Amino acid sequence: MFHLLRGMHPVRAAAHGQGDAPGTPGHPVARGPKMFDAGTLRYLVLQLIADKPRHGYDIIKAIEQRAGGAYAPSPGAIYPLMHGLVGHGYVAVSLEGNKKLHSITPEGLAFLAANRAYVDAIAARVDAPAGADDDLRHLMHELKAAVLARGRAGEPDAARLDAIRAILRQARTDIEALA
């Protein structure tokens, strides 16, 4: 089975239900939900460039800052997206030393204006005030660090890994049981 991704090139879909372990070829590890897909992220990136010309790294840092550190897009998400914005004529590139400086074009401004309500909704989502879920996110990061540290500590130990798995499964069950 093929899917069309990134420029309409065929990519073989992962084989499911064939007994492959997660993380093996044909059975990728699930990463969880993204804050944005590339289609949504482009509106935010374009607005940031409209606010002032920026380098790619500056865009990543601006999004991370606006999200209060809770989210930062990867360079692998940002740079192809910016290339696409240039291809659509929404962004122009000039060289500033050995860095590319991205500036909004009149076409980019028109695109933002035509999609103003959506752009504002995305910005509000990123700029949402800190809340109780920030504490949960912080605790999840601490838990992840502890699990990985204990799971990787010393020599491989099947009993320790089984104990960690049991604790995580029980925690999930307990959380799901909350009213």
What CATH number does the domain containing 54 carry?
1.10.10.10
Work out how many domains the chain is built from and give that number: 2
Please give the pLDDT value at position 148: 86
Give the separation between CA 167 and CA 140, rounded to whole angstroms: 14
In the predicted model, residues of the chain with pLDDT beneath 50 are 1-33
Where a domain ends, among 129, 145, 164? 129
Whole-number CA gyration radius for the chain: 21
63 near 75, Cβ under 8 Å? no
| Parent domain of 153 | 130-179
Please give the pLDDT value at position 6: 35
107 shares its domain with 141: no
112 shares its domain with 173: no
Please give the pLDDT value at position 116: 93
112 near 91, Cβ under 8 Å? no
Please give the pLDDT value at position 69: 77
Please give the pLDDT value at position 166: 94
107 shares its domain with 145: no
DSSP 69: T
Indicate the Cα dihedral angle 139, 66, 55, 7, nearest 10°: 70
Please give the pLDDT value at position 57: 93
28 in a structural domain: no
Give the separation between CA 63 and CA 72, rounded to whole angstroms: 6
138 shares its domain with 60: no
Question: What does the longest C-alpha to C-alpha distance in the chain come to?
Answer: 62
Give the separation between CA 20 and CA 33, rounded to whole angstroms: 22
Burial 133-167 (b: 16+ CB within 10 A, else e): eeeeeeeeeeeeeeeeeeeeeeeeeeeeeeebeee
45 near 59, Cβ under 8 Å? yes
